[in-house]
Amino acid sequence: MFLFKKKKEPMEEFVDLKEVAKDRLTVRIFKLSVEADVDMVKSAIADGKTIVMLNIGYFANKEQLRHCLGDIKHAVQTFEGDIVALNPGLLLITPKMVNIEGRDVQNNGGGMTP
């Protein structure tokens, strides 16, 4: 008497597209021109699924800009994100799951390498 094992057929896998869409990242572009804009930027940083392109070239008061950038940098550190200046008026801010490569070491992490 021979015993034959029945071959197991591979099960089909179904992917729930709603679940896949939850893991997508969003790129949002912000223009920082007044102190009130900081809250929107910090909210995007806190959600953990947004890459922020932040244009700071429109901010008139340089002292207030420094204060706002300190607040934004603190939010980036709190949520373990990453931040880099692409040029003097444009910042790139990424969530924890995205690392920024290509920093210019001579500029202390800011800017991009040629």
What is the predicted pLDDT for the residue at 102?
81
Looking at domain 25-107, its CATH architecture is 2-Layer Sandwich (3.30)
The domain segmentation of the chain, as residue ranges, is 25-107
Quick: pLDDT tens for 54-113: 999 998 899 999 999 999 999 999 999 999 999 989 999 999 999 888 866 444 444 433
Classify residue 92 by its DSSP letter: E
Q: Is 66 exposed, middle or buried (0-12, 13-18, 19+ CB in 10 A)?
A: exposed
